[in-house]
Amino acid sequence: MRKYGYIVVEGPHDIEFVYRLLRPFGLKRVRLENDLDPYFEKLIPRKYPPDGDLQKRIPIPLFIQNDYHSLAIRGAIGDSKLIQTVEEYTAVLDKDQITGIGVLLDSDQEIDPRTRYVNIKKDLEDKGFHPADSAGFIADGPPKLGVYILPDHQSQGTLEDLLLGCASIVYPNLLASARTHIENAEKDGSLMKSDLDDLLKPSGRKKAVVGAIASVLRPGKAVQVSLQDNRWLKDETLDIPRVKAFQNFLVNLFEINII
């Protein structure tokens, strides 16, 4: 019998990040509905368009599984939406069969990571959940519950901090040229201030550098495609302490078998 779990994250890059860290354990994407474990059938949307919005993406998780585990990874932007999705999933799934529930967010906001966790913890408690006292720790279940704040629960930052660390190992020259490209763009007098609004946000430069690298590796495709196809999270990059720490968190949360 498989063990079941799900993790709610903030966006498509985070979805791919989680998947790439679990892929070494034999977990693979589920492409066909007939191959999906029946336990997760209730998470498949049956109505289109969602909420009557023709331009809204269908809110379907990424399902990954092997012979021992079946997991759902779902993106939800904003703290309230993260908690809402956790609540909705727990309500429709058989809670007695859930091994672990995870929440992944970052600390790119002005609020410091510890304060953000305090707020998330209170919101979860208000919904009847019992998270651990600190981010990165896992509350005993069943089901287990863990909240992880990238990059390391203490520093301000995002997933891109980890990806840039990975790039420094596997794409050092490309990383250097990408940084030069972004620095030159900031100095480009032909660009209007409005052109640089997103770049000048707290995490804008890091996201731009990661995007510039990905645009070389997979031209015309989204960053998450490059994360899926390229060497960002493979072999030696998995030994980077902050990357390994999150991978270990996932392994413990979902009771992943080491193969």
Which pairing describes strands 3-9 and 98-106: parallel, antiparallel, or unpaired?
A: parallel
Residue with tokens 């301000």, as numbered in its chain: 156
- Please, what are the averages of pLDDT over each run of 10 residues along the chain (259 residues)? 95 96 96 96 90 86 97 90 94 94 86 88 94 95 94 91 98 98 93 92 94 97 96 96 97 87
Residue ranges covered by each domain of the chain: 3-156+237-254, 159-236
Q: What are phi and psi of 221, to 5 degrees?
A: -115, 165
Rounded CA separation 36/25 (Å): 18
Rounded CA separation 246/136 (Å): 8
pLDDT score for 258: 67
Residues 6+ apart with CB under 8 A from 186: 196, 199, 200
pLDDT score for 80: 85
In contact, 66 and 8? CB cutoff 8 Å:
no
In contact, 27 and 66? CB cutoff 8 Å:
yes
CATH 3.40.50.10380 for the 3-156+237-254 domain, yes or no = no
Q: Is the alpha carbon torsion for 248, 223, 27, 58 positive or negative?
A: positive
Rounded CA separation 25/43 (Å): 24
pLDDT score for 107: 84
The token pair that represents 53 in the structure block: 């919005």
Residues 6+ apart with CB under 8 A from 144: 99, 100, 101, 138, 253
Rounded CA separation 191/204 (Å): 16
Q: Of the candidates 121, 104, 201, 116, which has an alpha carbon nearest to the alpha carbon of residue 155? A: 116
Rounded CA separation 121/118 (Å): 5
Residues 6+ apart with CB under 8 A from 163: 210, 227, 232
Residues 6+ apart with CB under 8 A from 67: 2, 26
